[in-house]
A and B are shown apart, each in its own frame.
Chain A
Amino acid sequence: MTPREKAILELVRLSEEEQRIADEAEKHGESGKGKRKIFQKYMIKDIVFLAIITCCTLVTGAIMPLLVNVPLFGIIQLGLGIQFSLFPVIGMMKVKKPFALLLQSMFISIFLVFMFPPMVLLIACALVAELLTLLIFRGYRSDWACVFAGTLYLPLTLPLLYMYYNVFYTVSGEEKAAVSMFIGGGNTGLIVGISFAVLAVCFIGSVIGMVIARELKKAGKLK
């Protein structure tokens, strides 16, 4: 056996051993402590990926300043539903740790202040969505937990913006007509219909996000 062949064999043996150790560690993690541990510490790579994916959400959501002035109930959520569910779900699928959504909403909120200050309420929405997900799914191990959180994230702003328009716009006094349009003109059917439409749009966005993340995982990109 030549020295080259010996080296190749040694390399193969080493890689097999590494793979075996990794498999064992994974197995141990799933059955042991790792399974029970919901809250995990954030690493720099998690923060970096969440920030980059938030940047995608921000860039694709830059139409917000135009939508905020269109007096139609739920127009912001309808216009931003896909972007604000697709990218956050990819983020959560890579960083499967609680409060990944909350971190994303914190990163984006500083920019949303300039586009439309009430959208800072996204932080509260992210917190509620995360808490519900943690209660129901006990973490983000399941891909559907990410979809669930991603679907709820933006629609939760609907009631908050409804309150905002009721309180804030009435300051102007004369704008009853605009307020009425922003909050659906008291038409329950319209409000319910648009709310369901927003939920559907966000669900579609979340599922696309999950499909992309699964594909990347299959390709060995999302570890």
Chain B
Amino acid sequence: MAFFRNKRNLYPLIAIASALIIMVFGLVMARTVVCSYFLLGAFVWVILFGCYKQALKVLPLFIVFGGAFALIAFFSSGKNFDGALAMANRFGAVFLAIIPSTSIQAVAMTRNLSQLHTPRGITLGMLITMSFIPVLRAEIKRVREAMRTRGAGSILNHKIFYRAFLIPLVTRLVDISDTLALSIETRGFTLGKSKYTVYKREAVNYMDVVYIFGLVAGIVLAVVL
């Protein structure tokens, strides 16, 4: 496995392309058994290319949700195995596509887009959206802790949800955005057409090519055989 992991992550755009390939093929071929084999092969393939952590995170989710929906499809279609298989394959394709996409680091994606001369506003926005999720989670936790401390009551009550959760959360987000904007400006970031340098450039590695060709070869084999 170490042989395949000769660099930390997949090239961002190749990771996105592979996620799309897996999802589209999985959804199109969902009713066939070949699709299940392909998804299984693709799962092993992404693990070989260093996405094992993401794969281990996604696997339980797929088992729970995919299994539940497959069971629903099985019974709702009059105990028809094909219906359950199609549903499981669809969920498999969606969850499998999440694995390479979650392996992309926010900064790597930004660097990659900057190299391709994507407008600065868009790369900045995407970077913040990608990397803000843990901050948002922490803020939600803080607001909920404050609610508990103040004895605000159940969050399921819409009035309490609005007054004690939603308003403080959005207020906090506004404060964070102001501070973050100032901090970005003081670091010399501009939205104009000023020149900039990408110090650590993202490059396509031969392993990226092997990875994407492997997936395409898997699709061809699944269609031909």
Asked if B122 and A106 make an inter-chain contact with CB atoms under 8 angstroms apart, the answer reads yes
Inter-chain contacts of A42 with B (CB < 8 A): 121, 191
A-B contact pairs, 29 of them (CB 8 A): A43-B181, A44-B124, A44-B185, A44-B191, A48-B128, A48-B181, A49-B177, A49-B181, A52-B128, A52-B132, A52-B173, A52-B176, A52-B180, A90-B170, A103-B125, A110-B109, A110-B126, A114-B19, A114-B97, A115-B94, A117-B24, A171-B28, A172-B28, A172-B31, A174-B31, A175-B31, A208-B162, A212-B167, A216-B170
How close is B173's CB to chain A, nearest CB, in angstroms? 5
Asked if B124 and A55 make an inter-chain contact with CB atoms under 8 angstroms apart, the answer reads no
- Judge whether A96 is part of the interface by a CB distance below 8 angstroms: no
- Judge whether B90 is part of the interface by a CB distance below 8 angstroms: yes
In A161-182, which residues have CB < 8 Å from any B CB?
168, 171-172, 174-175, 178
Asked if A114 and B23 make an inter-chain contact with CB atoms under 8 angstroms apart, the answer reads yes
- Judge whether A222 is part of the interface by a CB distance below 8 angstroms: yes
Inter-chain contacts of B174 with A (CB < 8 A): 49, 94, 216, 221-222
How close is B71's CB to chain A, nearest CB, in angstroms? 13
How close is B68's CB to chain A, nearest CB, in angstroms? 9
How close is A94's CB to chain B, nearest CB, in angstroms? 7
In B154-175, which residues have CB < 8 Å from any A CB?
162, 166-167, 170-171, 173-175
**In the complex, A53 Cα to B166 Cα: how many Å?**
13
Residue in B19, B27, B180, B184 whose CB lies within 8 Å of A113: B19
* Number of chain B residues close to chain A: CB under 8 A: 54
- Judge whether A66 is part of the interface by a CB distance below 8 angstroms: yes
With contacts A107-B125, A172-B31, A221-B171 taken as known, whether A47 is within 8 angstroms of B20 at the C-beta atoms is no
Inter-chain contacts of A66 with B (CB < 8 A): 65, 69
- Judge whether A59 is part of the interface by a CB distance below 8 angstroms: yes
- Chain B CB within 10 A, most for which of A43, A65, A208: A65
- Judge whether A111 is part of the interface by a CB distance below 8 angstroms: yes
Q: Identify whether the interface residues of B are mostly helix, strand, loop, or mixed.
A: helix
Listed in ascending order, the chain A residues whose CB lies under 8 Å from chain B are 42-45, 47-56, 58-59, 65-66, 68-69, 90, 94, 103, 106-108, 110-111, 113-117, 168, 171-172, 174-175, 178, 208, 212, 215-216, 219, 221-222
Closest 4 CB pairs of A and B: A45-B181, A51-B128, A51-B125, A114-B101
**In the complex, A45 Cα to B132 Cα: how many Å?**
15
